[in-house]
Amino acid sequence: MPYSLSSLIPDKHFRVPSACGVSGIMNTSGERFSGEVVVTSMSVMRERGNGLGAGFAAYGIYPELKDYYCFHMLYDSAYAKKNTEEYLANHYEIVESEPIPTRKNPRIKEVHILWRYFLKPKFPETVTEEDFVVSTVMFINEKIEGAFVMSSGKNMGVFKGVGFPEDIGDFYRIDEYKGYIWTAHNRFPTNTVGWWGGAHPFSILDWTVVHNGEISSYGVNKRFLESYGYKCTLMTDTEVIAYLVDLFMRRFKYSPAITAKILAAPFWKDIDSMPEEERLLYSALRMNYGGALLNGPFAIIVANRNMMMGLNDRIKLRPLVAAVKGDFLYIASEEAAIRIVCPDPEIVWAPKAGEPVVGVLRSEESVSLKV
Amino acid sequence: MAKGKIPPEFLVERDDYKCVRCLACVRLCSYGANYYDENAKRVYTENRKCVGCHFCEAMCPTEAITVMRNPFEIKPLAHWTSEHLIDIMKQAETGGVLLTSMGNDRPYFSYFDRIVLNASQVTNPSIDPLREPMEVRTYLGRKQMKLDLEEDEEGRVLLKTEIAPQLKLEVPVMFSAMSYGSISLNAMLSLAEAAKTVGTYFNTGEGGLPKELKRYGSNMIVQVASGRFGVNVDYLNAGSAVEIKIGQGAKPGIGGHLPGEKVTEAISETRMIPVGTDALSPAPHHDIYSIEDLRQLIYAIKEATRYEKPVGVKIAAVHNVAPIAAGMVRAGADYIVIDGIRGGTGAAPKVTRDHVGIPIEFAVAVVDQRLREEGIRHMASVVVAGGIRNSADVIKAIALGADAVYIGTAALVALGCHLCQRCYLGKCNWGIATQDPKLTKRLNPEIGARRLVNLLRAWEHEIKEILGGMGINAIESLRGNRDMLRGVGLHEYELKLLGIKPAGEAW
């Protein structure tokens, strides 16, 4: 353990810039595979982190309870747990409540109570089920001291904490889960952080985001989201991405391609030379959603139960490589992270700046290389 | 009588060794300050007549002239300065309201000067604008919370929402409203040509539209003020947007007065009033006594322009600016202009110019915040005016929440103005704030336009450098991005109102 946890500063209340490594593996036909694969992929990118944060998002891991919202919780105290459970009991039917299984790891020091619930919402007819769950997550994260929702989707979950990915994977027994999409993250925060919630992936409903980069437009994006009712409580760039994706893809029902073109908008000089209809569309998107433009260096992997998307900033200031083999789509910060688990991919390419790589579940064209 | 003898503000010193008696200064001074003494064969200056415009100094071929401030060394009192004494002397003499021009020059705190900007170091790369695209294009007008899209059979995405009319600015800087009458046609032509070259807008002000400017319609905003001079349906449709002027920063709460002597044949034609009559702009619009009346006028103009042009509303920044701005947006304004206490004018009572209104830095911060809190920020763009001096002010205004800025004084300085603040006399030696053909011909619109284009291009370069340094490559990522700002030497509550943190505090 390179740092003593007690001397770490929690990054709950201020923004910490960090550099990172990301990896995402998807089986587009929905076949589930062990999380060991993604841990192996991350293990070759150890240099990209500094042991102060790692995490995994997994889809398809709870098939027997797939109709219930699974909340992965991180508590600072038994008191926070009690408060949260009282709140949940009032608004949800708690189908299952259990500790998240862990394994002793000498390099991981447990500082939180890790718990998971499978929930059935008792929501009023005036709101949609998903909006109800979003408001619950917002409430817990903002109002209940010492409680944090790591993930809140169906048949998926986020496992994260302070440590290197191999250790976090071992700690959470990632190898024992099987999923059809796995994304993973290795963090290099600039200062010492001791709060597990600050690690990636960030998640809302079944959206997860892993992110390498710094969003220099954070101040704008946060205020843009506030006007749509999102409260950015975690002070991280990545949270903003998760909410933007939720806004455009879930609430507005925009395609991943259109969403990508809002987050990493084409340049005006390119828009100006588009055919009339496209020009109108992309001009309107930029004019109206300028506050959602993610500016600054980033490489992200966004996933939900149906898809996985890799995206770079508009001038590709962070690395991102993609590869395809059979039903598998690989996206990672480094080609090595793909080759270690898939030595002979059919194609490997570096996606262009602002061009999304999208893998869609059970679709004929499982991987679209461009919009 | 000695009691009424007001000391000259400036002293014009002449190096007789350098003076070649060309008498250019004598011929050029519109105030008749310089004269030639045949007997002494020397050039003298009647200092009292000098306004300090530095025209003779600039034109003297041998650099013989120096215009300097008259120290008027009264006992150095902190409270009773020479300015106050002179003002009292003037009023004791005339019994009149003191008139002045241009912007407030009281030493109020400049908040722009107490705000510093951010740059990238290590954790994210700064961007070199000479190597990478750097975008400052801005659209002004009503936006949507949500755009409806539709996918056709071929999988093409089509836009279903109708987009409200927009102004496209290649640089987020426009030229403020300055009317024909307050400035010369050559000054207006310079502004118009520069706006066209750069891809931004100039504003006709409230003086109607001289026919020479009609061809600049695609870079022109036409203004409708309380005097309604020159306003008819052709005028409303002549530009790219219509701006209702409720107030201006230099003189909140009062109207305007163009003296009859200035209403020449040409001014009479554009203002649609008889030659020689005073052109009075009432203090309020007499059809706007409340916010619902503003709505009627906005929609009357929208009807008259077939909803094809954005309609803006301009107000002076006053104490209650945030709720007023919200009301204007709700009344249907597509963009709003907030003009701060430093805003300029062709003529205003000194007491109003110097004491009424609030600094623009606060106004933009609270207006942006209020509109966001009410969820209506997207409904109108915010344009900020009043004392913008350089590209740093532009950047800070945008980061505080503005979409774009207006410049007036800075543009006139580019045309030669030396801020002597005597526009109201109509004798501007630089050919800007005058209608005297002998003076206006001194301003060549081609050269004027070139200088204005240079200014905007220079600012554009600087804005791009700063954006790149911040690690962002589009102006929309700066707009309202108060994380990029830090206050130095400001009180906690001022920081709170500005929505910024003190220097030294991280994210």
**Do B467 and B357 lie in a common domain?**
yes
pLDDT in tens, B386-401: 999 999 999 999 999 9
The one-letter amino acid at B172 = P
Contact yes or no for B158 and A281 at CB 8 A: yes
pLDDT in tens, B460-506: 999 999 999 999 999 999 999 999 999 999 999 999 999 999 999 98
Please give, rounded to a whole number of angstroms, the shortest distance from the CA of A114 to a CA of chain B.
Answer: 29
Please give, rounded to a whole number of angstroms, the shortest distance from the CA of A142 to a CA of chain B.
Answer: 18
Alpha-helical runs (H) found in B331-390: 350-355, 360-373
Q: Residue range A74-103: average pLDDT? A: 95
Q: Which of A288, A363, A368, A371 to mutate to test the interface with B (most CBs of B within 10 A)?
A: A288
| Phi-psi group of A51: left, alpha or beta (phi > 0 → left; psi -120 to 50 → alpha; rest → beta) | left
User: Inter-axis angle of helices B291-304 and B321-330, to 10 degrees?
Assistant: 40
Which chain B positions have a beta carbon within 8 Å of A291's beta carbon? 476, 479-480
Task: Compute the distance between CA of residue B483 and CA of residue B498 in angstroms, rounded to an integer.
Answer: 11
Strand partners, A332: A23, A321
Q: B242 is written with which tokens?
A: 């219509």
Which chain B positions have a beta carbon within 8 Å of A14's beta carbon? 506-507
Q: A312 is written with which tokens?
A: 């770079």
Q: Which chain A residue has the Cα nearest residue B145?
A: A288
pLDDT in tens, B251-260: 999 988 887 8
Report CA-CA distances (Å) from B60 to B15, B21, B38, B136, B501.
Answer: 11, 10, 20, 41, 50
Residue B142 is assigned to a structural domain of this protein? no
Comparing CA positions, the residue from B474, B403, B503 lying closest to residue B200 is B403
CATH number of the domain enclosing B74: 3.30.70.20
Residue B498 is assigned to a structural domain of this protein? yes
Please give, rounded to a whole number of angstroms, the shortest distance from the CA of B391 to a CA of chain A.
Answer: 20
Which of B135, B372, B477 has the CB atom closest to A227's CB atom?
Answer: B372
Residue B130 is assigned to a structural domain of this protein? no
Q: Which chain A residue has the Cα nearest residue B123?
A: A17
DSSP letter at B49? G
Tokens 């539709």: give the residue.
B150
**Do B355 and B282 lie in a common domain?**
yes
pLDDT of res. B256: 85
b/e code A180-213 from CB counts within 10 Å (16+ = b):
bbbbbbbbbbeebbbbbbbbbbbbbbbbbbbbbb
- ipTM value, please give it: 0.89
Contact A244, A211 (CB under 8 A): no
Which chain A positions have a beta carbon within 8 Å of B120's beta carbon? 216
Name the pLDDT band for A1 (thresholds 50, 70, 90).
very low
Report which of residues A4 and B455 the model is more confident about.
Answer: B455
Which helix (H) or strand (E) segment holds residue B14: the answer is: strand B10-14
Q: What is the pLDDT of chain A when averaged over all its residues?
A: 89
Report CA-CA distances (Å) from B494 to A103, B61, B359, B489.
Answer: 52, 50, 12, 10
Handedness of CA A216, A218, A219, A225 (dihedral sign): positive
Q: What is the pLDDT of chain B when averaged over all its residues?
A: 94
Is 50 exceeded by the pLDDT of residue A202? yes
Contact B410, B387 (CB under 8 A): no
pLDDT of res. A347: 95
Name the pLDDT band for B114 (thresholds 50, 70, 90).
very high
pLDDT in tens, B151-194: 888 888 999 999 999 999 999 999 999 999 899 999 999 999 99
Cα-Cα-Cα-Cα torsion B292, B296, B297, B301, nearest 10 degrees, comes to 150
Contact yes or no for A216 and B149 at CB 8 A: no
Which chain A positions have a beta carbon within 8 Å of B122's beta carbon? 190
B170 touches chain A (CB under 8 A): no
B:101-140 residues touching chain A, CB 8 A cutoff: 120, 122-125, 127, 132-133, 135, 137, 139
Name the pLDDT band for B314 (thresholds 50, 70, 90).
very high
Q: B507 is written with which tokens?
A: 């994210």
Q: Residue range A49-61: average pLDDT? A: 91
Which chain B positions have a beta carbon within 8 Å of A227's beta carbon? 145, 372, 375, 377-378
Which chain A positions have a beta carbon within 8 Å of B474's beta carbon? 265, 290, 293, 295
Task: Compute the distance between CA of residue B47 and CA of residue B459 in angstroms, rounded to an integer.
Answer: 37
3-state helix, strand, coil in chain B (%, to 5): 35, 20, 45
**Do B160 and B28 lie in a common domain?**
no
Last residue of a domain, one of B81, B96, B111: B96
pLDDT in tens, B340-369: 999 999 999 999 999 999 999 999 999 999
pLDDT of res. B3: 67
DSSP letter at B261? G
**Do B62 and B153 lie in a common domain?**
no
B:361-420 residues touching chain A, CB 8 A cutoff: 372, 375, 377-378
**Do B91 and B154 lie in a common domain?**
no
Which of A219, A291, A297 has the CB atom closest to B483's CB atom?
Answer: A219
Task: Compute the distance between CA of residue B438 and CA of residue B260 in angstroms, rounded to an integer.
Answer: 19
Please give, rounded to a whole number of angstroms, the shortest distance from the CA of B500 to a CA of chain A.
Answer: 11
Distance in Å from the first CA to the final CA of chain A:
45
B484 touches chain A (CB under 8 A): yes
Contact yes or no for A214 and B157 at CB 8 A: no
Domain with B19 in it: 8-96
Contact yes or no for A216 and B470 at CB 8 A: yes
Number of domains observed in the structure of chain B: 2
B323 touches chain A (CB under 8 A): no
Comparing CA positions, the residue from B421, B435, B342 lying closest to residue B99 is B421
Which chain B positions have a beta carbon within 8 Å of A283's beta carbon? 163
CATH number of the domain enclosing B420: 3.20.20.70
- At A204, give phi and psi (nearest 5°): -145, 130
DSSP letter at B489? S
pTM: predicted TM-score of the whole model, two decimal places? 0.92
Please give, rounded to a whole number of angstroms, the shortest distance from the CA of B470 to a CA of chain A.
Answer: 7
Is 60 exceeded by the pLDDT of residue B13? yes
Which chain A positions have a beta carbon within 8 Å of B479's beta carbon? 220, 290-291
Which chain B positions have a beta carbon within 8 Å of A290's beta carbon? 474, 476-477, 479
Which chain A positions have a beta carbon within 8 Å of B151's beta carbon? 255
DSSP letter at B377? G
Q: Residue range B413-426: average pLDDT? A: 94
Cα-Cα-Cα-Cα torsion A202, A208, A210, A215, nearest 10 degrees, comes to -70
Contact yes or no for B161 and A285 at CB 8 A: no
Is 50 exceeded by the pLDDT of residue A369? no
Please give, rounded to a whole number of angstroms, the shortest distance from the CA of A288 to a CA of chain B.
Answer: 5
- The correct answer on CATH 3.60.20.10 for the domain covering A21-368 is yes
Task: Compute the distance between CA of residue A80 and CA of residue A230 in angstroms, rounded to an integer.
Answer: 23
How many beta-carbon contacts under 8 Å exist across A and B? 115
| Given A20, A70, A232, A342, the catalytic residue | A20
Alpha-helical runs (H) found in B335-484: 350-355, 360-373, 391-400, 409-414, 437-440, 445-470
The one-letter amino acid at B385 = A
Report CA-CA distances (Å) from B41 to A58, B44, B47, B67, B95.
Answer: 97, 10, 19, 21, 40
Task: Compute the distance between CA of residue A226 and CA of residue A224 in angstroms, rounded to an integer.
Answer: 5
pLDDT above 70 covers a percentage of chain B that reads 99
pLDDT of res. A87: 95
pLDDT of res. B77: 87
Contact yes or no for A255 and B151 at CB 8 A: yes
**Do B394 and B259 lie in a common domain?**
yes
Is 70 exceeded by the pLDDT of residue B83? yes
The ranges assigned to domains in chain A are: 21-368
Contact yes or no for B377 and A280 at CB 8 A: no
Last residue of a domain, one of B80, B96, B112: B96
Contact B336, B325 (CB under 8 A): yes
**Do B154 and B86 lie in a common domain?**
no
Contact yes or no for B372 and A315 at CB 8 A: no
Which of A214, A265, A293 has the CB atom closest to B124's CB atom?
Answer: A214
Which chain A positions have a beta carbon within 8 Å of B484's beta carbon? 219
- At B369, give phi and psi (nearest 5°): -65, -45
Comparing CA positions, the residue from B333, B249, B236, B319 lying closest to residue B291 is B333
Q: A126 is written with which tokens?
A: 């005036």
**Do B404 and B276 lie in a common domain?**
yes
Q: A28 is written with which tokens?
A: 């587009």
Q: Which chain A residue has the Cα nearest residue B163?
A: A284
Contact yes or no for A265 and B480 at CB 8 A: no
Last residue of a domain, one of B96, B115, B138: B96
pLDDT of res. B351: 96
Residue B453 is assigned to a structural domain of this protein? yes
HEC string for chain A: CCCCHHHCECCCCCCCCEEEEEEEEEECCCCCEECHHHHHHHHCCHHHCCCCCEEEEEECCCHHHCCCEEEEEEECCHHHHHHHHHHHHHHEEEEEEEECCCCCCCCCCCCCEEEEEEEEECCCCCCCHHHHHHHHHHHHHHHCCCEEEEECCECEEEEEECCCHHHHHHHCCHHHCEECEEEEEEEEECCCECCHHHCCCEEECCEEEEEEECCCCHHHHHHHHHCCCCCCCCCCHHHHHHHHHHHHHHHCCCCHHHHHHHHCCCCHHHHHCCCHHHHHHHHHHHHHCHHHCCCCCEEEEEEECCEEEEEECCCCCCCCEEEEECCEEEEECCHHHHHCCCCCCCEEECCCCCCCEEEECCCCCCEECCC
Q: What are the residues whose beta carbons fall under 8 Å from the beta carbon of B352, sequence distance 6 or more?
A: B250, B251, B252, B253, B254
Q: Residue range A121-131: average pLDDT? A: 89
b/e code A232-258 from CB counts within 10 Å (16+ = b):
bbbbbbbbbbbbbbbbbbbebebbbbb
Comparing CA positions, the residue from A291, A309, A307, A290 lying closest to residue A299 is A309
Q: Residue range B90-100: average pLDDT? A: 93
Contact yes or no for A314 and B484 at CB 8 A: no
Contact A359, A24 (CB under 8 A): no
Comparing CA positions, the residue from A220, A262, A300 lying closest to residue B475 is A220
Comparing CA positions, the residue from A240, A254, A265, A257 lying closest to residue A368 is A257
Please give, rounded to a whole number of angstroms, the shortest distance from the CA of A108 to a CA of chain B.
Answer: 26
Active-site residue, A232 included? no
Please give, rounded to a whole number of angstroms, the shortest distance from the CA of A164 to a CA of chain B.
Answer: 20
**Do B156 and B281 lie in a common domain?**
yes
Residue B127 is assigned to a structural domain of this protein? no
Q: Which of B117, B123, B132, B145 to mutate to test the interface with A (most CBs of A within 10 A)?
A: B123
